Amino acid sequence: MIAKVALIRRMPKKISELDYFVPLQLKQAVTVGQLVNVPFRNRLVYGLITEFKENETEEARGKLKSIENIVWDKSALTLKQLSFAIEISEFYNTPLGFILQTCLPPLKKTKIKKINISNSDKMKPAVRKKPEIKFYHNSIERDELLKKLISKSGQTLILVPEISEASSLNLSSDISPTIISAELSEKEIFDIWFKIRTEEIKLVIGTRRALFMPWSNLQTIIVDDESNSNHKSWDMAPRIHAREAAMMLAHAHGAECILTTHTPSVESWYFAQHKVYGSDQEIPVFESTAELVDMKEERRGRNYGFLSLDLEDAINQNTSGDIFLFINRKGSSAYVGCRDCGYVAKCSQCSRGLVYHENTSTLDCHFCNLKIKMFLTCPKCHGANMVMYGVGTQSLEKELSKRNYPNKKIIRIDSDTISIYDKDYNGNKIIIGTQLAWDKINWTKVKLMAFIDADSSLFIPEYKMAENLWEQLRDAQYHLPTGARLVIQTGHIDHHIFSSLSKPQDFYNHELQERKLFAYPPFSYLVRLYNGEKTMDLSKQAANSLFEHLQYLTKDRHDITISNPLPFSPSYSRGMHWHGIVIKISFEKYKQITKFLAQNIPENWKFDPNPNNLLSF
């Protein structure tokens, strides 16, 4: 008998599983899902049996190495969890052994020898259940909803976009939750793994890592804040989306998959409307209304400052509680340029605009970490008419420090100051912060919040930019306590994002109309492929070669559209020149086609199903 064994290590995808001969003395004891020791490159390594082949030949038997021994009598992974691992490996183009490394406990020889694992796999058939989506207006409603959804008869997994969200859940359930995060030690992971495998742990809260625990009786999977972009892994393989992977896990185990949120993603809302997801609710409308300020009118009235007159009045009137001034850009300015010749200071490596930092008198690239000294005259025309455009956290902090705000401490929270942020300061604050401040501040104390420059990301050429800003604005409304004011400064007051805040359905209708024109999700499924080379010519050549190969493979298919290769923005990053290819797939057979594409791309290309961005990092 021959066993197919996935080595528990990072291997090239094409050889992530190898064949081994099963010795006669082990033939009655081996089973799928078992952890074994096998010889590999003159030493013994761990592997997991994934399949058996009965039709062995004398020639094959002579060439193959044999399984050395069985580590545990019982299967390390249930068949359902192994099925999930294989699905993730194939769909996200990641070697199975690497996925199994995440599925298994830390394999320390001295510890695993002492383990006697019991088999608690509930063998009920896996039945596909329709995903559901449920809404809440505030954190109290969210906690009550999650409490009702926790399984009483089996295991429940609650997926959160960031581990800081786990501590904010107040479930007060009879079942004590276990939190799984990257901060856990190997010993803690080891102990938790076995308790989940034997169903001693019933309730888990965690990020994507928790999907790969050894579930033995999983009944309910809840993806909270389902539209949050942090549910997507974009910088390392497997590039999974938690919502998507949760549905695969639910299907493998016959569990319920429930999406919970205050603001659904455009795709999820569309699928709910078309009965792909179960839902009987309308999108929540928040009590707090947004106050829109037209910055074009401010400029016509000769107010060229960072703060509108309305916002200045609101700050002065706020005598108690915190003020949160949000701007998603650190530094002193958005970019530096010359008024005479139009020159703009850009990074020599990635061509992005350099940001002026007054405290160091440098121009910094926040992408490549390049720093150069600020120049006094234009490098192009040598004129002295250099100006700084836009607002950053440093310049806003400097501007506010010139004013008199009695009993208010001004605090800046961005990547430069996050390590020294005093979270225990109890006085009233004016907080100037980027997205990093979002989970650091005490929202219950915020009485006034303002988006200083709501338009900064609105016209970046990525199809999800409008949705990202929409979710950010709605998330602010969700977090703000009753009675708090929300001021939004914009130069595009008529944009559908702002006009839809009181009528959420309008936003989704508008977005769906636009996406249908370009066949963006939910009207197709996206896969992006990207690759870096040492020179731009090599990058272009590799991209064109793959494009032609994929065009040939899919020439008879009408359910796939492959874009021409395009350079990334920035095209140069991490010492490489990058090109990407975007593929649109009909939803009818998107899993089958995605796996087919994964099998036909070179090993060095990044494979990213359901990406957050199309041609940028």
Which of 210, 239, 273 represents a domain boundary (last residue)?
Answer: 273
What mean pLDDT do residues 410-417 have? Answer: 85
Q: What is the pLDDT of residues 420-430, one digit of tens each?
A: 677 667 778 99
What mean pLDDT do residues 65-91 have? Answer: 93
Which of 494, 514, 534 represents a domain boundary (last residue)?
Answer: 514
| Among the ranges given (249-263, 358-372, 579-593), the one the predictor scored with the smallest mean pLDDT | 358-372
Average model confidence (pLDDT) across the chain = 89
If asked whether residues 353 and 480 sit together in one domain, one would say yes
- Residue matched to tokens 């004013």: 403
Domain assignment present for 281: no
**Higher pLDDT residue, 460 or 221?**
221
Neighbours of 469 (CB within 10 A): 21
Alpha-carbon distances, residue 329 vs 354, 391, 541, 543 (angstroms): 12, 8, 36, 33
Q: Which residues form the domain of 597?
A: 525-609
pLDDT band at 122 (very low <50, low <70, confident <90, very high): low
| Among the ranges given (40-49, 80-89, 178-187), the one the predictor scored with the smallest mean pLDDT | 178-187
**CATH number (domain holding residue 492):** 3.40.50
- pLDDT value at position 326? 95
If asked whether residues 486 and 553 sit together in one domain, one would say no
- pLDDT value at position 42? 87
Whether 130 has a pLDDT exceeding 80, the answer reads yes
If asked whether residues 499 and 565 sit together in one domain, one would say no
* CB contact at 8 A, 376 and 384: yes
* CB contact at 8 A, 434 and 327: yes
Domain assignment present for 123: no
| Among the ranges given (397-401, 428-432, 548-552), the one the predictor scored with the smallest mean pLDDT | 397-401
Q: What's phi and psi for 87, nearest 5 deg?
A: -60, -45
**CATH number (domain holding residue 224):** 3.40.50.300
Structure pTM? 0.90
Domain assignment present for 283: no
If asked whether residues 108 and 230 sit together in one domain, one would say no
pLDDT band at 332 (very low <50, low <70, confident <90, very high): very low
- pLDDT value at position 305? 85
Whether 590 has a pLDDT exceeding 60, the answer reads yes
**Higher pLDDT residue, 91 or 63?**
91
CA–CA separation, 544 and 552 (whole Å): 12
If asked whether residues 437 and 340 sit together in one domain, one would say yes
If asked whether residues 603 and 570 sit together in one domain, one would say yes
Domain assignment present for 285: no
- pLDDT value at position 59? 57
Highest mean pLDDT among 46-55, 265-274, 291-300: 265-274
- pLDDT value at position 449? 97
Q: What is the pLDDT of residues 336-379, one digit of tens each?
A: 778 677 787 888 776 667 877 767 788 888 667 788 888 888 88
**CATH number (domain holding residue 538):** 3.30.70.360
Which of 273, 300, 322 represents a domain boundary (last residue)?
Answer: 273
**Higher pLDDT residue, 81 or 462?**
81
Domain assignment present for 118: no
Whether 382 has a pLDDT exceeding 90, the answer reads no
If asked whether residues 539 and 580 sit together in one domain, one would say yes
Domain assignment present for 520: no
CA angle at 555 for the pair 551 and 561, rounded to the nearest 5°: 65
- pLDDT value at position 402? 86
3-class secondary structure, 205: strand
What mean pLDDT do residues 189-193 have? Answer: 91
Domain assignment present for 127: no
What percent of the chain shows pLDDT beyond 90?
62
Neighbours of 542 (CB within 10 A): 19
Number of domains in the chain: 4
Domain assignment present for 617: no
If asked whether residues 490 and 510 sit together in one domain, one would say yes
Whether 193 has a pLDDT exceeding 90, the answer reads yes
If asked whether residues 201 and 262 sit together in one domain, one would say yes
If asked whether residues 87 and 205 sit together in one domain, one would say no
If asked whether residues 76 and 168 sit together in one domain, one would say no
Burial 256-274 (b: 16+ CB within 10 A, else e): bbbbbbbbbbbbbbbbbee
CA–CA separation, 479 and 474 (whole Å): 9
